[in-house]
Amino acid sequence: MTARPALSDNLRGAGLMMLSMAAFTFNDTAIKSLGDSLPVAQVIFLRGLITTLLLYLAGRAMGAIRFKLPRRDWALVVLRGLADLGATFLFLNALLHMPLANLTAILQALPLTVALGAAMVFREPLGWRRLLAIAVGFFGVMLIVRPGPEGFTIYSLYALGAVVLVTMRDLAARRLSPGTPSITVALVGATLVMAPAGVVTLMTGWGPVSGREFGLLSLAATFILVGYLASVMTMRVGEIGFIAPFRYTGLLWALLLGWIVFGDWPEPVTLLGATLVVAMGLFTLYRARRLARRARRGY
C-alpha cells in the first residue's frame, strides 16, 4: 500500500520532467528562429512580459498565488530568480550563436553539477565512483565545447556559465518548503528575469517588432510558461534519482528540432561528448538512488 503513492509521485515527476524539457526546447527553437533581428534584452523583456501576465492570470484562476511566505523561502525564491536571470542572459546569447543540439548537450551536465553542488553546499555524501563519473562527464563537456582556436568561442563560456547558474536555481528550488506554491515561485522568477531586461531595453533603445517576431515571442512565452511551472514542480515531486534521468529527453528534442528547423546535425566528436555526459549523468543518478535505498534499509 505504501509503495503506490511513491510510485505515483515518481511517475508524475517523470512526466513533469519530460514536459519541462520539451517545453524549454520548443521555446529555444522559437527564440533561435528570431535570429539577431531583436536585441537580446528586448527579447527577454517581451517574452518575460507575456509569460508573467500568463502566470499571473493562471495563478489567480487557480488561487495559487500567495506572497506570505517564510523569510527563508523568500530568500530561496529570490536567489532562484536571480540565478535564472543570469542563466537566461547567458543561455540566450549562446543560443543565438550556437547549434541548438550542441548547447542542449552542454546543459545535460546539470545532473552532474547538481550532484557536485549538493555535496559542496549541503554536505551530501559523494563517493569516489560518482566523483569519477563527474570528471568523465566534464571531459565530455570539453569535447562538446572543444577548447582551442577552432571550436571554442565566447559563447561556449556563456553556455558553461548558464550551467552553473541553472545548478544554483535547481538547488534553491529543492530547498523550498512543501507549502510554497510552485506558481508563485515561477511568477516571482519570471518577474525577476523580465524587470532588469526592461530597464536595459529602455537604456539601449527599442527595436521595431514585426508580426512574425511577435508571434514567435508569444509562442516562446507559452512554452516557457509551461517549462517554468513544470521545472519548479519537478524538483519537488518524487525521488530525484528516479526523475532526473528524464531530463535527457531534452537532448532528443534538440537533435530533432535542430535538424528539422535549422538543418544542424552535431559532428561526431560532439555526439561522443554528449554520449559521455549522458552516460555519466545516468550512472551518477543510479549510484545516488542505490545508496539511498541502502540507507533506508539500514546498511
Question: pLDDT 10s digit of each residue in the chain, 299 long?
Answer: 444 445 577 788 888 888 999 999 999 999 999 888 888 899 999 988 988 998 898 888 888 888 888 999 999 999 999 999 999 999 999 998 889 988 988 888 887 888 788 778 777 777 778 788 888 988 888 888 776 555 567 888 899 999 999 999 988 888 888 888 888 888 899 899 999 999 999 998 888 999 999 999 999 988 988 887 787 778 667 676 677 778 888 888 999 999 999 998 888 888 898 899 888 888 877 777 776 676 666 65
CA neighbor of 231 nearest in space, from 82, 7, 25, 78: 25
DSSP codes, 34-92: HTTSS-HHHHHHHHHHHHHHHHHHHHHHHT-------HHHHHHHHHHHHHHHHHHHHHH
User: For residue 147, what pLDDT is reported?
Assistant: 63
Helix, strand, coil tally for the chain in percent (to 5): 80, 0, 20
Any alpha helices (H) in 175-267, and if so which ranges?
Answer: 182-204, 211-234, 240-243, 249-262
Separation of alpha carbons 112 and 131, rounded Å: 9
pLDDT digits (tens, 9 = 90+) for 144-178: 877 655 556 788 889 999 999 999 998 888 888 88
- Position 151 scores a pLDDT of 58
pLDDT at 117: 82
pLDDT tens, residue by residue, 199-248? 999 998 888 999 999 999 999 988 988 887 787 778 667 676 677 778 88
pLDDT of residue 2: 44
Using CB atoms within 10 Å of the CB of residue 32, give its burial: 0 to 12 exposed, 13 to 18 middle, 19+ buried.
buried
Nearest residue to 26 (alpha-carbon basis) of 86, 140, 104: 104
Residues making up the chain, counted from first to last: 299
Long-range contacts of 199-206 (CB under 8 A, 24+ apart): 200/41, 200/45, 201/39, 201/41, 201/42, 201/45, 204/39, 204/41, 205/39, 206/42
Among 76, 52, 78, which Cα is nearest to 179's? Answer: 76
- What's the confidence (pLDDT) of residue 4? 45
Tell me, rounded to whole angstroms, the distance of Cα 286 from its chain centroid: 21
Burial class, 148, CB count within 10 angstroms (exposed 0-12 / middle 13-18 / buried 19+):
exposed
Query: Which pLDDT does position 297 carry in this prediction?
Result: 67
Q: What is the dihedral of CA 123, 274, 147, 107, to 10 degrees?
A: -50
Q: What is the pLDDT of residue 150?
A: 54
- How confident is the model at residue 177, as a pLDDT? 87
